[in-house]
Structure 1
Amino acid sequence: MKKRQLVLEDGTTFVGTAFGSREASVGEVVFNTGMTGYQEILSDPSYCGQIVTMTYPLIGNYGINRDDFETITPSIHGLIVKEVCDTPSNFRNEETLDSYLKANNIPGIAGIDTRKLTRIIRKHGTMKAVFTSIDDSIEGALATIARTPVITNQVEQVSTVKPYVVPGRGHRIVLVDFGMKHGILRELTKRNCHITVVPYHYSAESILRLKPDGVMLTNGPGDPKSVQEAIEMIKDIVKKVPIFGICLGHQLLALACGADTEKLTFGHRGSNHPVKDLIVNKTYMTSQNHGYAVTRESLQKTDLQLTQVALNDQTVEGIQHKKFPAFSVQYHPESSPGPEDTNQLFDQFLTTINMHQTTTKEETTCLSVQI
């Protein structure tokens, strides 16, 4: 098979076997520690613009199936593995990883030392890289990286263009799509919610016109501070309707309430991250995919309460508003495969909606009696 190079922006070069698309591609190199779930990773919009290194050595052994996609069109810029399996064995398998990557113009490289690459990222942080032909010069590859701008509009690339409805008989939820995983829709439809999915830049006025019982802020890629439209929208609705944020939605809620965010050295990406719930004093295993986090110290000047922390590095994993019915988590409670310890957060969201409706009704009744 044809050889391929992976060149990092610091000049470090790895030579391996090409699979997937043969096109050159530039992206930010990150690593994921999950043993399974490569299909979900490939189709997760939160990886928009990134080249993902899988730390588990064998990838592709159960193939690709029709059921485990998180979106229709993948946004990942490349895949790096130690060994790729060309003969998958699974009763749901429908095609190989290689054929899926070819069909979606995603390049891959196999046969490199992924442990060494991961150690570099852990030490120096995420960095840009490019896939090139074995015949291309390192100088040319570095020039390609240098003239390729850093993507800052990832959310715009992966968000829905127009609103659409997923009908249900239960609570009416407006889901703001910043790069939504289908797993979030699955959990809400499982609970019979009537869901209206809207673009990332939908205004507060337009959202409130839909008369939602609650608003879901989804996951998504990139720096939360680049989505200023959403921050302003959240500022306007947080006093008026219950909110549940996941991943990027969690960071946007924090920014809208006066907290700050920061970029992590190499981020959290995997399905085995322990998180402690400070309210109930329990620890959960979670699935995570984020390169930014809410700055813990910045919560002190806000009306946000810290509810959950990562046990690996004590970063913020959960917050809730002290005055309004709004809460969020940094990890993915809808994630599968992976732990489903925190799946009940969707039930908590619906309970919050019920409590808000009851309180609002009682306040309206009291006001009527006084009048």
Structure 2
Amino acid sequence: MSTAIVVGAGIGGVTAAVALQRCGWQVSVLERAPELGEVGAGISVWPSAVAVLEELGVKGVEKAAVVSKPAGMRKPSGRWVLAAADFGVEIPVMIHRAQLHELITAEFGPAVTVRTGYTVTKISQDETGVTVNDELRADLVVAADGIRSVVRSTLYPEYGGPRYSGYTAYRGIADLEVDDGGGETWGRGRRFGFARLIHGRIYWYATANQPAGRGGDHAAVIAAEFGDWHDPIPKLLAGTENVLHSDIYDLGLPLVPFVQGRVVLLGDAAHAMTPDLGRGACSAIEDAGALARQLRETPEVTTALSQYDAERRPATTKLVKRSRVIGRVGQLENPLVRALRDGLFTIGGKLAGLRRR
């Protein structure tokens, strides 16, 4: 039986483990944290990723989310700039990260073993396999160890790695009902978005231009920045017990090859992007599906891995670029440029609505 080691047990890593298991591989998952699980708030799962999860047998992630009220883009005053319905956009499933993680790991069978509290510090390989920390050996290693991947830095020490986007993010979950379809509100160098999770409660996120590494009372900062914006934003902030904070980074372009020998990069380790498209975790899920498909359809492992790289690196490079552009446009501070941006969005939405009708 073919063997694989998956480094990292986030969304991408556990999806890869399930995918390889379904291909008949014996899989060992190595996780640095002392316990298996996910932290964070909400996550958007787009239809393409839902399809991969369904193919892997993951149950409980619905194909569609229902928005009962208008959603789209607004100004801090509450004035609508763009309605999502005008563009006929896909609606993702909104789910808590921990819940999605549990749904995926529920599919672990006897072929998957998990080792927590394990830190990978060394990778070496030859024509027949890969050795981790001079003690573990497998036919394949899948590096799903995040944006600051130890495996990636080992394979490509010359690569610059993560770059700061110029803005930071706050996230939370409000345990209350609101009569609003959600969407995003764009202000001066600040944005606020929210959506309903599939089992109730409201997931919200906010961004603000500021230097990296700034600390402080996150709840107080977010209240000062967004407390006077349109309803229901103040209610969401008041109904949140725990505010999460993270500076936003992505990977510099061009991305490094996702494959070197029998070591594969997946998810943020390969193509970390800003969250502006909401596609980061979905791309990791799609990586896992593509990797399994290539291994299933192509008997020769190195050929299958080359095909995985050829499929996923161009696709995710586009997402990294698009997400970066949207982030820059959304975080604009110049009032004249912002007014032009909002006007173009409004006109574009009206034209798209007319074409759809």
Give the structure-2-normalised TM-score. Answer: 0.27
Richer in helix (by share)? 2
Higher relative CO (Cα under 8 Å, sequence separation at least 6) belongs to: 2
